[in-house]
Amino acid sequence: MFVAEGISESQPIRSMPGVVQHTRDSLRSAAADAVAAGVGGLMLFGVPRDQDKDAVGSAGTDPDGILNVALRDLAKDLGDATVLMADTCLDEFTDHGHCGVLDERGRVDNDATVDRYVELAVAQARAGAHVVGPSGMMDGQVGAIRDGLDAAGYTDVVILAYAAKFASAFYGPFREAVSCSLSGDRRTYQQEPGNAREALREIQLDLDEGADIVMVKPAMGYLDIVSAAAANSPVPVAAYQVSGSTR
């Protein structure tokens, strides 16, 4: 579910018919309806105002940022009636649209980005997230987040690792949904589409770092990877059906 700052009513997402950017109030209503209908988990994505975006995604860790405020709203309204999940990434919050902090040459700085992910995860846990979902495909992100959550006292917060996230054109509608400011592409840190061996290695690395759930994204085009992961993983395997694969 997408929740946007600076709008007075929910806004349809053109490339995702039937899906909207919610206001805080409409999100609360829609979430309550979903839980009443039996939905067992909700994943939240924040959409800040353009003027609140910066080079390091400060709006993502701001306690008063839209995603953290929305998590607090739903935690108060729903308690443990459903599982609250948060997207733990910077792309919605950066003015360049990449999933991390850029170095002086405009490349994503892995270690600086992981530090920000830890801060994001702790902020989201503090706001009420039961599950954090690091989706940026940085090396070492799962282990660092686990250490950071544990140190902050959030030992029960679950890490849903985007373990095999392939570079894909299927993500186009989602980027519109979160008003992403991306320039360039993310192929330097997302998975090469044809490299199954690397994908399985990345899944194992996330397991070794303490992932509670591992995900394959986009799932529809990589059912072989989903199957291989499920055959070998001691934790649940999530399959992300992305918006663009149904168009």
What DSSP assignment string belongs to 131-144? EEEE-S--TTHHHH
Distance CA 112, CA 103 (A): 9
217 a catalytic residue: yes
**Which one-letter DSSP state was computed for residue 150?**
H
List 165, 180, 207, 215, catalytic entry: 165
Distance CA 98, CA 242 (A): 19
Count other C-beta atoms under 10 Å from residue 129's C-beta: 28
141-151 helix and 110-127 helix, angle to the nearest 10 degrees:
40
List 22, 28, 53, 217, catalytic entry: 217
| Nearest by Cα to 158 from 210, 207, 204 | 210
Task: List active site positions.
Answer: 165, 217
